[in-house]
Amino acid sequence: MGASAARLAALLLLLLAAAAAAAAVGECVYIPYNTSAGVVGGKLNVHVVPHTHDDVGWLKTVDQYYVGSNNSIQGACVQNVLDSLAFFQRWWRQQSDMIKDIVKGLISTGRLELINGGMCMHDEATVHYIDMIDQTTLGHRFIKEEFGQIPRIGWQIDPFGHSAVQAYLLGTEVGFDAFYFFRIDYQDRDTRKGTKELEVVWRGSKTFGSSADIFAGIFPKNYEPPPGQFYFEVDDTSPIVQDDPLLFDYNVEQRVDDFVAAAIAQANITRTNHVMFTMGTDFKYQYAESWFRQMDKLIHYVNKDGRVNALYSTPSIYTDAKHAENVPWPLKTNDFFPYADNPNAYWTGYFTSRPALKRYVRVMSGYYLAARQLEFFKGRSNSDLTTDSLADALALAQHHDAVTGTEKQHVANDYAKRLSIGYTQAEKLVSSSLSCLSQSGSKSHCPSQTTNFEQCPLLNITYCPPSEMDLSQGKSLVVLVYNSLGWKREDVLRIPVISDSIVVHDSEGREVESQLLPIANASLHMREKHVKAYLGMLPAAKPKFWLAFPVSVPPLGFNTYFISSGKKSASVSLMSTLHPSQGSENSNMQIGQGQLKLQYNAAAALSLYSNSKTQVEANFEQKYKYYIGQDGNGSDPQASGAYIFRPNGTVPIKTDGQVPLTVLRGSILDEVHQQINPWIYQINRVYKGKDYVETEFIVGPIPVDDGNGKELSTEVVTNMATNKTFYTDSSGRDFIKRIRDYRSEWKIEVHQPIAGNYYPVNLGIYVEDGSRELSILVDRSVGGASIKDGQIELMLHRRLLHDDGRGVAEALNETTCFDNQCEGLVIQGKYYLKIDPQGEGARWRRTFGQEIYSPLLIAFAEQDGGNWVNSHVTKFSAMDPAYSLPDNVALLTLQAGEHKDLSALASVDLKRVFPDKKIVKIVETSLSANQERSAMEKKRLKWKVEGPPADEKIVRGGPVDPSKLVVDLGPMEIRTFLINFAPQSGKQLM
């Protein structure tokens, strides 16, 4: 192979491999290095796998890493090395046809392997499974289109702990045969070394059992070369293989001994006669020849020595060799959280780090789902507006140093900027699609669009210019509400308005009950500062009220509401009244107009939850505390930082008793406002028609003038006897049982009783006591725990003053700047609480959890005279109007698993989902849609497991009858189909 081809084989990450150069030039005489060895039976086979790990943003931005700029931070130029598709894709676009042909040849012959295949190596703790699927699908589509290849190996070597969803959903369900990684708890690793259980069969799903098994390989130390100094970058200090006997530092025997010793040491903790040497690490192979020259020599001389057999390999070759041994493997269930790399270093802080970025990613993810639907309804055109820019930005944001919050500040800003650019493009598409769909006759074609719909991306900080318009001159505000879920939704909208003379009508012209709530000063203060910070200007109008009114929206469709000026009517719009807390010894204050009621005691603290429908009554408290971040000045210099949570004391936050509660009551909802302390403001909401508590919080700036970093948590305390047990979700899907200070597969030595019991929470967390379940659902990824029985806590915000020594070299001290002044980051968010009878909480966690992820999309238009109803479609559903998806089914995924009703087989009638389209072909594929499912199932490797076979009852949907077009879905099952529709107006849709 020529020099340029050899360089390519080194460059294209992970992937290497190869029968390297057949010859190399020695310093004195020509030596033909023999690197052609394959697997040799009866010997210890050392699979040499050259790889490089190139983050798509961490200390530098993705662009800086690619071109090699800003090298004062880190000397890295990924144009010279390739890893994730995000880098590979941009490199590929710049190559000549000759280079592309060489690369395709290397791939087709197996000398270069594309593995994992996502746009990035995504995180597994702070990501939602839909985002994991989307970013993987993007990458797999590119690989299939360009190279006709289907990746078969998972390679998640750097994420900080590993999720069960990764194993079965982004492993077996995309057709992977094996999954390799590194970061597991140091105690777990030490235990596995002693029992030779670093390589296991991972059964990540209780629902799917052995059908979702995947071979999982955990690296013995890290993802770098083995001990013995085998780093061969140009400027590395490892001794090279000096094989010229005329020079004084000839060392062939010593280097061979080092290699063999490393191989035997690894074999002693590994089963079978195959070990993998991961030859590379972060941003290596910028000069590939320096690596391959030494590896050629090592393979040549090691094999001449004969004690072990060394070969250039790939992860697939290694996997096939392991499988060919036909031996049973230990079984692994659940996941690998939390991760610690030493006694005082639990990587559980990043579950919450950069909470504003985490929320931004989650909001954009839900928006992207809705935008893609609207793009489909309108008809996609690559020459027109698309969602592609947002897709790319979201894919990058799933990287294990992006949504995690473990990057430098300027890199976090870059991720947010990319999301903003992507949103701007998608927002235009959404507005255009809604204009198209809302105009008469738009079901079959899109007329000339005259309606301009506006949206309010800053609604969470009480800023929505279209809803703040003056309606006194006869104008009216059109509110179009889109529902991206496959079932009808009843919800309450809240938008800021400037007047108290408001009337709301539905699309049939009927008045809709509404309620006005004064906007809190804390919200207005946040609005003013952050609009200035984000938009560089002060908002013009100042809204006085939140207008709340109920909406009903069909599945995959929209409904329209009209807001106009009108006389206040108590039956239609009721101004909330204020009830300052009296604080008398015997006074209890109750809120709630419906079945759910909350009671506050004389000390202005929550004390009782009661639901007349479910007959649940529970005493509980809700309060705040902060952990002081360890500064690293003790005997162990480990500080709390972006990655690591290491508390140095707990400080309860006591509410100032002099500040009264503000209570707002109305026909739709009640609110209790509370200034917890100068930097925490809270609102508890109870809706008349809903059976959960909504808690909104505004937190920050966290004060650090005392020299202490702080990590703020909220906690709910009950008298439930939970026996150290709680449950957290895995990437928004399965709930996994957690037991405080306990690991099911190894004995834990507890050094950090708080940080070591924190887990990632993407969807929710719950506890149960045999008669009741307390569930809390979240609006973004956070860290959560149950540190005491009957208690749940969520970490909401972190502001720290010291770096935790894991490479980012920067304290997690986020600020917001305006008027040339900077202050600590303020965040706004929500969480939701519900107490159910035992066994009934799963329905709410699943259905409402999906609604949190996919909120109603609101768009506004102005009507000045005329009659909207005569010129527009006011109600639309892409589905058959009489049809709705089952409660346990959502587009993109099935939401079920623990509830007796939601765990049954569900059916989806595609003819009614797409009533206006004729399906001419349907093919079931892998999760990432890069191969037919039947072909994937036939070729996937099946692995033996130690112990007796499990007694399993696995429910999966069967093949789809092309005439009936009904898809059956088992519990937790996700099925992906490619559907061809009959052409419409000359277009072929898919």
Nearest to 586 by CA among 603, 574, 571, 569: 603
- 3-state per-residue secondary structure call for 535-578: HCCCCCCCCCEEEEEEEEECCCEEEEEEEEECCCCCCCEEECEE
Torsion angle, CA of 779/784/788/790, rounded to 10 degrees? 30
Question: Residues 712, 797: contact at Cβ < 8 Å?
Answer: yes
Nearest to 878 by CA among 375, 309, 407: 375
Within a 13 Å sphere around the CA of 444, how many CA atoms are in the beta-carbon half?
2
Tell me, what's the pLDDT at 602? 77
With respect to residue 763, please indicate whether it lies within any of the assigned structural domains: yes
468 DSSP 8-state letter: G
Give the CATH number for residue 902: 2.60.40.1360
With respect to residue 543, please indicate whether it lies within any of the assigned structural domains: yes
Tell me, what's the pLDDT at 889? 75
Displacement of CA 586 from its chain's centroid (Å): 47
Contacts of 17 (CB under 8 A, 6+ apart): 9, 49, 50, 111, 112, 113, 312, 313, 314, 317
Same domain flag for 479 and 502: yes
Tell me, what's the pLDDT at 335? 96
Q: Is 240 helix (H, G, I), strand (E, B) or coil?
A: coil
Q: Rounded CA gap, 390 and 455, in Å?
A: 16
Nearest to 316 by CA among 117, 566, 584: 117
Report the domain count for the chain: 3
Contacts of 43 (CB under 8 A, 6+ apart): 273, 308, 309
Same domain flag for 872 and 946: no
With respect to residue 304, please indicate whether it lies within any of the assigned structural domains: no
Q: Rounded CA gap, 113 and 104, in Å?
A: 10
Q: Is 517 helix (H, G, I), strand (E, B) or coil?
A: strand
Q: Rounded CA gap, 417 and 302, in Å?
A: 51
Same domain flag for 565 and 588: no
Q: Rounded CA gap, 807 and 350, in Å?
A: 14
Same domain flag for 727 and 869: no
Same domain flag for 558 and 599: no
Q: Rounded CA gap, 209 and 120, in Å?
A: 28
Same domain flag for 497 and 443: yes
With respect to residue 633, please indicate whether it lies within any of the assigned structural domains: yes
Question: Which pLDDT tens digit goes with each residue over 258-276?
Answer: 999 999 999 999 999 999 9
Tell me, what's the pLDDT at 15? 35
Token pair belonging to 671: 């609110």
Same domain flag for 621 and 562: no
Q: Which amino acid is at 368?
A: Y
Nearest to 782 by CA among 339, 161, 357: 357
With respect to residue 80, please indicate whether it lies within any of the assigned structural domains: no
Domain that holds residue 779: 573-838
Same domain flag for 522 and 406: yes
Q: Rounded CA gap, 318 and 158, in Å?
A: 20
Give the CATH number for residue 674: 2.70.98.30
Please identify every stretch of the chain with a pLDDT value under 70, giving residue numbers as ranges.
Answer: 1-29, 82-86, 382-383, 440-449, 568-587, 656-659, 865-866, 888, 890-904, 984-990
CB atoms within 10 A of CB 851: 20
With respect to residue 807, please indicate whether it lies within any of the assigned structural domains: yes
CB atoms within 10 A of CB 209: 16
Give the CATH number for residue 490: 2.60.40.1180
Same domain flag for 499 and 477: yes
Same domain flag for 923 and 952: yes
Token pair belonging to 603: 């000390």
Same domain flag for 376 and 393: yes
With respect to residue 213, please indicate whether it lies within any of the assigned structural domains: no
For residue 550, whether the previous peptide bond is cis, meaning omega lies within 30 degrees of 0, is no
Tell me, yes or no, if the pTM score tops 0.85. Answer: yes
With respect to residue 374, please indicate whether it lies within any of the assigned structural domains: yes
Cα angle, residue 27 at apex, residues 25 and 32 outer, rounded to 5°: 35
Tell me, what's the pLDDT at 899? 52
For residue 915, whether the previous peptide bond is cis, meaning omega lies within 30 degrees of 0, is no
Q: Rounded CA gap, 742 and 124, in Å?
A: 21
Same domain flag for 832 and 908: no
Contacts of 7 (CB under 8 A, 6+ apart): 288, 289
Q: Rounded CA gap, 134 and 397, in Å?
A: 12
Tell me, what's the pLDDT at 860? 96
